[in-house]
């Protein structure tokens, strides 16, 4: 609730505002679902908004050392992909689509997922892995890229995202 405050000389002053903050939950590990969360978090930091990114379930692929450089776009069962699902489902198709997408991104000078994580780390964004999902996949903190600050529980996520605008990806 807004309560008017006054400084020592009795002049009304605006109550001190908390810095704006976003909390982004990355729950999917396909290339096309990795970028939105990372780009939004980075954009927030670039304009001085605090950012917390919580990677859970398949989103853990984005921060898993062995997978971060090998994310593929989700092309099967995706109505936006101009390719029949039967063909998209053929072996090697996703890898091929991924290679094409990465080539196009490199041409446009869009950073790789790994570089996005490095940018976020340098920006002071906080990256967290989800403990329950990690237990489920048999992952430990050592399996994650070094930019990840901590492995936390769902309840801890709410502590860290207090007052933040939350975005689920």
Partner 1 sequence: MSTATIAGHAVSVDADGFMTDPQQWTPEIATVIAASVGLSLTERHWKVIEFCRRDAADKGEPPGLRRIAQGAEIPVKELYQLFPKGPGILAAKVSGLTKPKSCV
Q: How far is the CB of 30 from partner 1 (least distance, A)?
A: 19
One character per residue 55-94, x = contact with partner 1 (rule: CB under 8 A): ----------------------------------------
Mutual orientation of helices 31-46 and 93-107 as an angle, nearest 10°?
Answer: 30
- Cβ neighbors of 80 (< 8 A, separation 6 or more) are none
- In a 13 Å sphere around the CA of 77, the CA atoms on its Cβ side amount to 0
Q: How far is the CB of 123 from partner 1 (least distance, A)?
A: 6
Burial class (CB in 10 A: 0-12, 13-18, 19+), 34: buried
Given the rule CB under 8 A, which of 36-44, 54-62, 74-82, 153-161 is the region that contacts partner 1?
Answer: 36-44
What gap in Å lies between CA 136 and CA 93, rounded to an integer? 28
Residues numbered 99-118 forming contacts with partner 1, rule: CB under 8 A: 110-111, 116
Binding site for partner 1 (CB under 8 A): 39, 42-43, 45-49, 110-111, 116, 119, 122-124
């Amino acid at each position: 609730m807004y309560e008017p405050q006054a400084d020592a000389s009795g002049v009304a002053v605006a109550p001190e505002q908390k810095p704006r903050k976003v909390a982004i939950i990355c729950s999917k590990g396909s290339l096309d679902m990795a970028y939105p969360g990372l780009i939004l978090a980075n954009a927030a930091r670039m304009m001085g908004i605090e950012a917390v990114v919580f990677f859970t379930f398949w989103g853990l692929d984005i921060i898993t050392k062995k997978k971060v450089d090998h994310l593929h776009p989700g092309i099967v069962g995706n109505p936006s992909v101009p390719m029949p699902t039967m063909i998209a489902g053929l072996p090697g198709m996703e890898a091929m689509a991924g290679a094409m997408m990465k080539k196009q991104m490199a041409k446009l000078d869009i950073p790789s997922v790994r570089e996005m994580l490095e940018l976020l780390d340098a920006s002071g964004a906080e990256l967290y892995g989800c403990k329950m999902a990690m237990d489920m996949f048999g992952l430990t903190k050592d399996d994650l890229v070094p930019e990840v600050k901590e492995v936390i529980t769902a309840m801890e996520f709410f502590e860290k995202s207090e007052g933040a605008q939350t975005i689920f990806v």
